[in-house]
Structure 1
Amino acid sequence: MLDHVGIHTNQLPLMKGFYENALAPLGYEKIYEHEDGAGFGQNGEISLWIVSTGATGRGINIALQSEDRVGVVRFYNAAMAEGATSSGGPALRPQFHPDFFAAFVIDPDGNNLSAICRSPE
């Protein structure tokens, strides 16, 4: 199932304000912000990321949940075998969550796709 969706933009300040105000009536709020983006969601769970990509956008980012870390590794290997470009191999990324294990690829059409496991090893 989906973990979160990311929208890439070259107009970060505008997009952060837009989504903060447009999503508020639905009960979404800005949960996390850094210089390159912001995360929006409900009840402390981020389900939408707005991310700066500089001068040009790079499509969307779809993050899929994996039940375990082995699934993340298998996803990465299968995507690479099908012609994806790596944008971050399988690894623990504790800056996002203590157990955030993920792999990131760019599909043949330029969209970002990732698999994420938040369970301990």
Structure 2
Amino acid sequence: MFDHLSTYSTDYAATKEFYEGAMASLGYAMQMEFVAEWNAEFPMQRMCAFGPEGKPAFWIIEVKENYTPRHIAFSAANREAVNLFYQAAIESGGKDNGKPGLRPTYHEHYYGAFTIDPDGNNVEAVCHLPE
């Protein structure tokens, strides 16, 4: 669980498209999008946020230069949602980094799927329920 977090993108359009598809599979949608006009060095810097209704929790912020990739894990309601996330993420431009399945190394019921987004981030959906 997290309140909000951000990732940075050098290809804003591709990254936004990736998350629009992947987040929809988990029941999340874009909550806001705007240009950060206050940034004097990058006055057309775009950003958007995804999350549940009324909660912009996951931000994509456009940057000019590459950065160190991150790992992001999103909660899924059940294992089928993990499967749908993986399929949607791949169809939306993501790359495989671990097909849906149990990961007993973490714990007995850890069911996750891993993808790489257009900026190289390791993006996961996980369900901790027994079935």
TM-score, length-scaled by structure 1: 0.53
Structure 2: any 5+ residue segments left out of the alignment? 6-66
Q: Deviating runs (4+, > 2 A) in structure 1?
A: none
Identity of aligned residues (%): 43
Q: Distance in 1 between the 2:81 and 2:69 partners?
A: 24
RMSD between aligned residues: 1.8
Given the alignment of the two structures, is residue 102 of structure 1 paired with residue 112 of structure 2, yes or no?
yes
- How many residues in Structure 1 have an aligned counterpart in Structure 2? 68
Given residue 107 of structure 1, which amino acid in structure 2 is its aligned partner?
A: D
Partner of 2:70: 60
Given the alignment of the two structures, is residue 85 of structure 1 paired with residue 95 of structure 2, yes or no?
yes
Given residue 112 of structure 1, which amino acid in structure 2 is its aligned partner?
A: N
Tell me the SS of whatever aligns to 2:90.
Answer: helix
- State the 1:58 CA deviation: 5.3
Given the alignment of the two structures, is residue 76 of structure 1 paired with residue 86 of structure 2, yes or no?
yes
- State the 1:83 CA deviation: 1.0
Per-residue CA shift, 1:76-115, capped at 9, x if unaligned? 0000001101000000011101000000000011111000
TM-score, length-scaled by structure 2: 0.49
Q: Distance in 1 between the 2:129 and 2:68 partners?
A: 29
Q: Distance in 2 between the 1:120 and 1:83 partners?
A: 30
Q: Distance in 1 between the 2:130 and 2:82 partners?
A: 13
Given residue 84 of structure 2, which amino acid in structure 1 is its aligned partner?
A: R
